[in-house]
Structure 1
């Protein structure tokens, strides 16, 4: 991407981010950049291809594991973009490619979850981190954050780390407490489930400590564990509306 392309992308992304409530002035541009980096470096790569196919089933790489891992990667990316260390992105690379680190929220490692695509994961991660390092050298810090955030604007506008995520969690807590009759009606009309039957399928923590569920979803979802997150993944409880 040439300099003129960078400038055009930065201008466009700035406008879109502002409509989402994200800006340097609002203090959440680094968060959006971390979402974008998570998408670019990790989520939209060989690990997602593995997750979506037979290899993912063999490696037990289910939705809850991906939910936990993606939110943990976001935290590492946020550390990298808010660090004054010029080599922080290489530290991020090392963390992501550590084959022996047990993934938070699980009991397994990259070596186990990524078995069969480890070389592809290494290649993809190193290539994208190298590209990010180039951007960081050539751009101002705010320009770098804005361009990094661009990668989170395609399908990740309401993911963990973006302003809308808090609204999704607030909606989920209202529904889990049985205080959203529209949601209850939707369960019945669309999924043929009554509220009590649906809630019975929730992980134990939902029944014992909703405050902990809310805290973790807002700050570090992986702390709930991959099995609990598997219930939340693709669950209508986290949608923002009833459409």
Structure 2
């Protein structure tokens, strides 16, 4: 056994055990979801686009938290489709979609050309390198082993959208919005020095008018809410991680 093979074998074993501790297993039917989260992290989220978002370029290009929230959850769905696809070169189709400079980003009115202006070359290079790596893994390993390796990057975001812990986190947010979580109301007062009614006054209209749709979107496709609504949720205490 070569050193390289040993490294991959160790990584696969570690990923299997650690993901199982997060509730992700082939038997549970959610390994593809975790792989899609990992691919989103590896190819898109943890790269030049995040650097652009965090700096002056992000402010200039309108790349705010809500845009990133919408984009990341949409990219996850494209990654999930690629992982589940039996088509040859599904990952290349995924790459083409996320690097399409003219495609309107769902939940926004802008494109990669607009949001990534000034970093387009870096974004393209980063995505292509990592998709090439994923295609190497896909060819070298079995489907399950590939998904385990692809999911490695998901383990740092155990309650991100697409992971098992996201659903209770999102449902808890809905309960908090309904005023059904006294601990949250108290935390608003003690930590954020904000009354619950004051907090809710700042919520987007859809939070008041159609909470069932907010719940559906948070659980299945947050980008359906639109970037401006998601900007309210991003880093919002109502969506803070569960203890």
Query: If the length of structure 1 is used for normalisation, what is the TM-score?
Result: 0.98
Task: Find 1:76's aligned residue among 71, 75, 78.
Answer: 78
Deviations 1:71-130 (A, max 9, x none): 000000000000001200000000000000000000000000000000000100000000
Deviations 1:55-82 (A, max 9, x none): 0000000000000000000000000000
Which residue number in structure 1 is paired with residue 104 of structure 2?
102
The answer to whether the Cα contact below 8 Å between 1:33 and 1:146 also exists between their aligned partners in 2 is: yes
The 5 Å alignment of 1:40-189 reads: 40-154=42-156, 156-189=157-190
The 5 Å alignment of 1:33-44 reads: 33-44=35-46
Structure 2 CA distance, aligned partners of 1:62 and 1:51? 7
Structure 1 CA distance, aligned partners of 2:137 and 2:88? 12
**What's the offset of the Cα at 1:173?**
0.8
Structure 2 CA distance, aligned partners of 1:125 and 1:196? 44
Structure 2 CA distance, aligned partners of 1:94 and 1:2? 30
Structure 1 CA distance, aligned partners of 2:190 and 2:153? 36
Q: Note the residue ranges of structure 1 that are not aligned, 5 or more in a row.
A: none
Q: Note the residue ranges of structure 2 that are not aligned, 5 or more in a row.
A: none
Which residue number in structure 1 is paired with residue 202 of structure 2?
201
Query: If the length of structure 2 is used for normalisation, what is the TM-score?
Result: 0.98
Structure 2 CA distance, aligned partners of 1:2 and 1:67? 36
Structure 2 CA distance, aligned partners of 1:3 and 1:220? 38
Residue 17, structure 1, aligned to residue 8, structure 2 = no
